Amino acid sequence: MSKRLAILTGGGDCPGLNNVIRAVVFQAVKKYGDEVIAFEYGWKGPIQNITRSLTLKDVDHIFNEGGTIIKSSRTNPYKVEGGPQKVMDTLKANKIDALIAVGGEDTCGVADKLVNDFKAPIVCVPKTIDNDLNATDQTFGFDTSISIVCDALDRLHTTAKSHDRVLVLEVMGRHAGWIATMGGMAGAADYILIPEEPFDIKKVAEAIKIRKKEAGYAIIVVAEGAKFAEGEVLKDQELDAFGHVKLGGIGDRVAKNIEELTGFETRSTTLGHIQRGGSPTAYDRVLGTRYGLAAVDLIHNNKLGRMVSLQGIKITDVAIREAVGTLKTVEMTIYDQTRVFFGDEVRPKAKA
């Protein structure tokens, strides 16, 4: 039986969102004869009843466009007076059979609460450049962001080499070091600092001295949420609607400390929102598309309250609850593999 579906994209945008939207509309309209509308601006859409229609024509050529054509925000209905009930009322008023919520930990966390509090008819699609969502092997957006980090590092290598400098690149990722670890590995970083392992700056400086001697220059990748042994660097103390502190600024501090401790000329670059912009990679286009197609199938198979999930090469589904609550931090065996490039690690003792 054909249905009336809605879709929203919440949280920080990322490349691949439009591929999900396109796939949802094609699958819904062509395979099931459904109708699809969007709630714009994430959860703000159903709170304030901000809708737009989504036709095949609207989504036909958005496959290579970054961002989201249906806008996003970090609105939390549970922080708005009567917010959850407003969401439910709007779904009813628009005769929505099922809502597809595309987002990360925060957006899916709201979906999970609505499912539990109101039996809301929701399925989720896992999104975030941070790759920190549980119960899926990968979120779309992550591959594009590490490709951008890799490209930035390629460029930093040539200028660092020309000037015999140490260059520090600060990357996003919030409280998980996936972008730093994978981007840093792809772009041959000489040291990678991640939130999962608070670092001793003196030890990093010693490793950089070794790499500088070996290569003439050195590159450090630092995740925005990485922690000095004394604690994380916060941009300011302001919290967003989901209670997250703003991170940022650690790259400058690392650069300053490294220069002081080593005497090497050191500069820092913050990649910032460049990591979230522009065209998705082929991998993210495919992953977003497969997630979108599967989300519509879930609804027609009456599997509400579920999130589509990548496991190995298969798209499967899990309870939304499994994905939220705790973050998927870096698998340390992967991080440990990068240590051989750090200068100070895995160094056989010189033969007597």
Q: Rounded to a whole number, what is the distance in angstroms from the first to the last CA of the chain?
A: 79
Which of 156, 180, 247, 293 touches ligand F6P by CB under 6 A?
247
Query: By CB under 6 A, is residue 128 in contact with ligand F6P?
Result: yes
- Residue 106 binds to ligand F6P (criterion: CB under 6 A): no
**Residue span binding ligand F6P (CB under 6 A) among the ranges 149-157, 168-176, 257-265, 326-334:** 168-176
User: Minimum distance between the CB of residue 318 and ligand F6P, rounded to whole angstroms?
Assistant: 21
CA distance 45 to 33: 24
DSSP type of residue 2: -
Cβ(251)–Cβ(170) below 8 Å: yes
Instruction: Using CB under 6 A, pick the residue from 129, 133, 148, 250 that binds ligand F6P.
Output: 129
Q: Count CB atoms within 10 A of the CB of residue 67.
A: 18
Q: Which of 130, 190, 196, 284 binds ligand F6P (CB under 6 A)?
A: 130
In this complex, which beta carbon is closest to ligand F6P, that of residue 3 or of residue 276?
276
CA-nearest of 181, 206, 185, 211 to 193 is 181
Q: Is 173 in the site for ligand F6P (CB under 6 A)?
A: yes
130 belongs to the catalytic site: yes
Q: Does 172 bind ligand F6P (CB under 6 A)?
A: yes
Closest CA to 201 of 153, 253, 160, 267: 253
CB contact set of 267 (below 8 Å; sequence gap of 6+): 165, 166, 167, 168, 255
At closest approach, how far in Å is the CB of 5 from ligand F6P? Answer: 26
Q: Is 222 in the site for ligand F6P (CB under 6 A)?
A: no
Distance CA 124, CA 102 (A): 6
Q: Which is nearer to ligand F6P, 14 or 166 (CB)?
A: 14
Q: Which is nearer to ligand F6P, 12 or 195 (CB)?
A: 12
The catalytic position among 130, 132, 143, 317 is 130
* Residue whose beta carbon is closest to ligand F6P: 172
Report yes or no: 207 and 344 within 8 Å, Cβ to Cβ.
Answer: yes
CB nearer to ligand F6P: pick between 75 and 128: 128
Cβ contacts of 138 within 8 Å, gap of 6 or more: 131, 287, 310
Pick the binder of ligand F6P from 12, 103, 126, 187 (CB under 6 A).
Answer: 12
Binding mask 259-278 for ligand F6P (x = CB under 6 A): -----------------x--
Nearer of residues 40 and 130 to ligand F6P, judged by Cβ? 130
Q: Is 222 left (phi over 0), alpha (psi -120 to 50) or beta?
A: beta
Indicate whether 103 belongs to the interface with ligand F6P (CB under 6 A): no
Angle at 182 between CA 185 and CA 313, to 5 degrees: 125
Smallest gap, in angstroms, from Cβ of residue 24 to ligand F6P?
22
- What is the smallest separation between the CB atom of 280 and ligand F6P, expressed in angstroms? 15
Nearest-approach distance from CB 240 to ligand F6P, in angstroms: 7
* Distance from the Cα of residue 57 to its chain's centroid: 28
One residue of 71, 174, 285, 300 binding ligand F6P per CB under 6 A: 174
**Full DSSP string of 74-123:** ---GGGSTTHHHHHHHHHHHTT-SEEEEEESHHHHHHHHHHHHHH---EE
Residue 270's DSSP bridge partners are 170
**For binding to ligand F6P (CB under 6 A), which residues are involved?**
12, 128-130, 172-174, 224, 247, 276
Residues marked as catalytic:
130
